[in-house]
């Protein structure tokens, strides 16, 4: 596959120009809410920029807009509601079972707002990619954008990384920097961070798969 970052990606690191990969990656995407990152991965595939196919979307909130986006794109979506499981481990076992059923090779956490256990991590070693709205290791966890604003940093951004057991940790694949503007709110800043997330996530998937 060929990915050609243009000059507007100058705040993205690393940049990759060419990833050779023959068979399409079999992706399972997991999302809790809006699903814009699901959509950009699907669009990158449709545009021929990412050699992959989405085997399934797993979502955990019945009202997640991600499920609507999946339906619009003809992607199978499975609701696994964590509220119906006795423990995180039991929930993760069901997730693993579902991903295996759909023959998934790489898992993308695209706005998945649940802590994961070793049951899940160990089932897909170094094959789970997370997108997070900060320059990790700063501002882990929920409300990362609010944390950045409250801290007074002048630059924040987003990170795509391989997922480890510790929350929002693991080898970094790509990052993009975003300036914090004087009158930013969490909403305006998050919106600009998401533009960068949408740029780096498909690139980071290709990069991870090529190494
Ligand atoms: C994204 O900003 C993503 O970085 C964040 O949730 C949002 C989901 O947006 N994930 C986390 O905070 C995980 N710790 P989306 O539903 O529009 O893709």
Distances (CA, A) of 40 to 119, 165, 194: 28, 26, 11
Out of 57, 111, 175, 187, mutate this one to test ligand 1's pocket (max ligand atoms within 8 Å of CB): namely 111
Residue 3 has pLDDT above 50, yes or no: no
Cα-to-centroid distance, 10 and ligand 1 (Å): 22
- Given 132, 161, 190, 198, the catalytic residue: 132
d(CA 162, CA 28) in angstroms, rounded, equals 15
**SS3 of 185, please?**
coil
Q: What is the pLDDT of residue 80?
A: 98
Residue 8 has pLDDT above 80, yes or no: no
Q: What is the pLDDT of residue 21?
A: 57
Which residues have C-beta atoms less than 6 Å from ligand 1? 31, 33-37, 110-111, 131-133, 144, 168, 194, 197
Q: What is the pLDDT of residue 9?
A: 43
**SS3 of 55, please?**
strand
Residue 1 has pLDDT above 70, yes or no: no
Task: Give 33's contacts (C-beta < 8 A, 6+ positions apart).
Answer: 61, 64, 65, 66, 111, 113
Give the CA diameter of the chain: 49
Which CATH entry fits the domain spanning 21-210: 3.40.50.170, 1.10.1040.10, 2.60.120.10, 3.40.50.2300? 3.40.50.170
Angle between helical axes of 36-46 and 186-210 (0-180°, round to 10): 40
d(CA 136, CA 144) in angstroms, rounded, equals 10
Q: Within 13 Å of residue 64, how many CA atoms lie on the same side as its CB?
A: 28
Q: What is the pLDDT of residue 22?
A: 73
Cα-to-centroid distance, 92 and ligand 1 (Å): 19
Residue 136 has pLDDT above 80, yes or no: yes
Q: What percent of the chain has pLDDT over 70?
A: 92
Known active-site residue 132: yes
**SS3 of 8, please?**
helix
d(CA 164, CA 138) in angstroms, rounded, equals 16
Could you report the per-residue pLDDT of 163-208, keeping only the tens digit for each?
A: 999 999 999 999 999 999 999 999 999 999 999 999 999 999 999 9
Cα-to-centroid distance, 177 and ligand 1 (Å): 16
Q: What is the pLDDT of residue 7?
A: 39
pLDDT, averaged across the chain: 93
Could you report the per-residue pLDDT of 85-124, keeping only the tens digit for each?
A: 999 999 999 999 999 999 999 999 999 999 999 999 999 9
Q: What is the pLDDT of residue 178?
A: 97
d(CA 115, CA 118) in angstroms, rounded, equals 10
Distances (CA, A) of 87 to 62, 93, 98, 107: 19, 10, 17, 21
- DSSP-derived letter for residue 127 is -
4 pLDDT tier (thresholds 50, 70, 90):
very low
Closest residue to atom 7 of ligand 1, CA basis: 111
């Amino acid at each position: 596959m060929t990915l050609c970052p243009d000059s507007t990606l100058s705040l993205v690191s690393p940049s990759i120009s060419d990833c050779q990969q023959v068979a399409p990656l079999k992706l399972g995407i997991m999302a809790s809410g809006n699903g814009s990152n699901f959509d950009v991965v699907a669009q990158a595939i449709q545009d021929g920029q990412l050699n992959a196919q989405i085997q399934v979307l797993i979502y955990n909130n019945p009202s997640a807009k991600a499920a609507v986006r999946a339906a619009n794109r003809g992607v199978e979506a499975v609701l696994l509601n964590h509220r119906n499981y006795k423990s995180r481990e039991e929930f993760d076992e069901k997730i693993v079972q579902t991903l295996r059923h759909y023959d998934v090779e790489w898992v993308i956490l695209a706005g998945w707002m649940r802590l994961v256990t070793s049951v899940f991590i160990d089932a897909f070693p170094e094959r789970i990619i997370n997108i997070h709205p900060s320059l990790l290791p700063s501002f882990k966890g929920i409300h990362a954008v609010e944390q950045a604003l409250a801290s007074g940093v002048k630059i924040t951004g987003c990170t795509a990384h391989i997922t480890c057991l510790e929350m929002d940790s693991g080898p970094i694949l790509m990052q993009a920097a975003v300036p914090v503007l004087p009158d930013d709110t969490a909403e305006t800043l998050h919106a600009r961070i998401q533009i960068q997330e949408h740029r780096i996530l498909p690139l980071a998937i290709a990069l991870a798969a090529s190494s």
